[in-house]
Amino acid sequence: MQPSAYRWMMTAANAPLTRIAFDPVPLAAGEVAVEVAGCGVCHTDLGYYYDGVRLNHPLPLTLGHEVSGRVAAAGAGAETWLGKSVIVPAVLPCGECDLCRRGRGTICRRQKMPGNDIQGGFASHIVVPARGLCAVDEARLEAAGLSLADVSVVADALTTPYQAVKRAGVGPGSLAVVVGAGGIGGYAAQIAHAFGATVVAIDVDAEKLAAIARHGAAATLDARKMDGRALKGAILDFAKQRRLPETEWFIFECSGTAAGQLTAFGLLVHGATLSVVGFTLDKVELRLSNLMAFDAQARGNWGCPPELYPAALDLVLDGKVQIKPFVEQRPLDEINAVFDAVHRHQLQRRVVLVPNT
């Protein structure tokens, strides 16, 4: 292990993050230390840092839950991971409790989320349970024109909407509507398209709509120019023109805004499935009886089971979901400036912070 391992620590809300040296070893049984290749900056990280979203671990804490890297050290029982390139799932279930045994690992009460329950990935190294790690084939990665740092965003930005699309039952012939076309919404649109759906993307940002139109969306709608009724009417007209379903739409709320949530709920049709993927602290006022009247359903999506990661990664390595146009790498030591820029909506792409070599 390198003796110069370090973390960028959050000591208080809105206080500058501080670089602190630490020693990743010794490791407990079943743990590994991953030398971080890259860690994506997620909207959730900003919620913790700027908005006071509750953390499960007391401060000081290193944020960051979109992590890729190479296993540099292993505790007893995890030695087979040494030297392997991996993606660290954003939610690591214990794998042993009743919920995990019943396939409900995303609500495991002993789960470990980097940057929330345990120290996160804005660091040179991260210590995590080996259970659930997703191995990355670097030959396939190179063939796809990607770096190990690039696929850090698979850990949340891609796998969370992957779970949502898979759970919802999207398939060939489906009509999928994605509200919020940047970040996780951009991946939701690509994944739904890869599953065989025709995708309509809604956003308030013309650049994001133009980008997703090149990568999976068959139609884009600017919510600044239409109210909810007009948006629903435009999608219905599109469905009729394309001979797509006028009922049973799959709606994915990915904006993480109150306005986006209201828009998504207003798009309910008979038999619709509404998947809430984005997060906001803001409250909205809804008429829940619409779920009854439309015989529709709504569900949340927290993380993604580690067992689904390989299939999600395959979509990227096979070129069915594009990452490169939607990420940019920055040095980890610029973390304070990057947080500020992302918070001010000054960046179009998702930032992956890369530790200094």
Q: Domain boundaries in the chain?
A: 6-155+304-354, 159-300
Kindly give the residue spans of alpha helices, DSSP state H, lying in the chain: 43-51, 98-101, 138-143, 159-168, 184-194, 206-213, 228-242, 258-266, 289-293, 309-317, 335-343
Q: What share of the chain is helix, strand, coil (3-state, %, to 5)?
A: 30, 25, 45
Is it true that 6-155+304-354 and 159-300 share their CATH fold? no
b/e string for 210-235 if b means 16 or more Cβ within 10 A?
Answer: ebbbebbbbbbbebeeeeeeebbeeb
Specify the amino acid at residue 86.
Answer: V
70-85: pLDDT as tens digits:
999 999 999 999 999 9
Per-residue confidence band for 3, with pLDDT thresholds at 50, 70 and 90: low
Mean pLDDT of 174-202: 97
Alpha-carbon distance 17 to 333, whole Å? Answer: 10
Specify the amino acid at residue 352.
Answer: V
pLDDT value of residue 144: 96
% pLDDT > 90, the chain: 96
Q: What is the DSSP pairing of strand 198-203 with strand 217-222?
A: parallel
Average pLDDT, the chain: 96
229-262: pLDDT as tens digits:
999 999 999 999 999 999 999 999 999 999 999 9
- For the beta sheet containing 217-222, the strands, ordered from the edge strand earlier in sequence to the opposite edge, are 217-222, 198-203, 175-179, 250-253, 273-276, 297-300
% pLDDT > 70, the chain: 99
pLDDT value of residue 160: 97
pLDDT value of residue 41: 97
Mean pLDDT of 283-292: 96
Contact, 62 vs 8, CB < 8 A? yes
Per-residue confidence band for 348, with pLDDT thresholds at 50, 70 and 90: confident
Is the pLDDT at 63 greater than 90, yes or no? yes
Q: Looking at the domain 159-300, which fold is it?
A: Rossmann fold (3.40.50)
Question: CATH homologous superfamily for 6-155+304-354?
Answer: Medium-chain alcohol dehydrogenases, catalytic domain (3.90.180.10)
pLDDT value of residue 357: 63
pLDDT value of residue 42: 94
DSSP-assigned letter for residue 321: S
Alpha-carbon distance 331 to 265, whole Å? Answer: 39
pLDDT value of residue 356: 83
